[in-house]
Amino acid sequence: MPTSTIIERGGPFRIDAWVTKEGTCPLLEFLKELSKDRPDAMTAFRVAVEKIHIGGGLPGSTEKVRLLNPKQEGIWELKIHKGPGYRFYFFRDGPNRIVLTHGRKKPKDS
């Protein structure tokens, strides 16, 4: 089980943020900056995470969440369409746990 910090629990899914061996959390560092620079994008991120948490899973038929490599289970991408656009990455760790690894601003060409 990867080292993490809990973001959401109590629903069908526990949602964690990955913590490096050095004790840093890339996702929380990114979210700290995002909340200062783009509070609207931060709100959209929180709403999306809450929908995943309460909704009991990954919305498979939405444009906002997709499996990066459809041929194998692995890393998922959550898209937030605010400002320049933001991407958040996560993976499943067992049937009831999602681990968010990091976020970034959308590349200009995607």
Three-class SS state of 27: helix
- Residue 27 and residue 101: Cα distance in Å, rounded? 6
CATH of residue 94: 3.30.2310
The verdict on residue 110 lying in a domain is no
Q: Comparing C-alpha atoms, which of 71, 76, 74 is closest to residue 59?
A: 76
CB atoms within 10 A of CB 105: 16
Give the per-residue pLDDT at 61: 40
Contacting residues for 81 by C-beta, under 8 A, at least 6 apart: 44, 64
Kindly state the tokens that stand for 84.
Answer: 């320049």
Kindly state the tokens that stand for 17.
Answer: 């943020």
Kindly state the tokens that stand for 18.
Answer: 């990955």
The mean pLDDT of 66-71, rounded to a whole number, is: 74
pLDDT in tens, 22-66: 999 999 999 999 999 999 999 888 888 888 777 655 555 444 777
Report the domain count for the chain: 1
pLDDT in tens, 1-23: 567 778 877 777 888 999 999 99
The mean pLDDT of 75-83, rounded to a whole number, is: 88
DSSP string over 32-44: HHHHHH-HHHHHH
Range of the domain at 85: 4-105
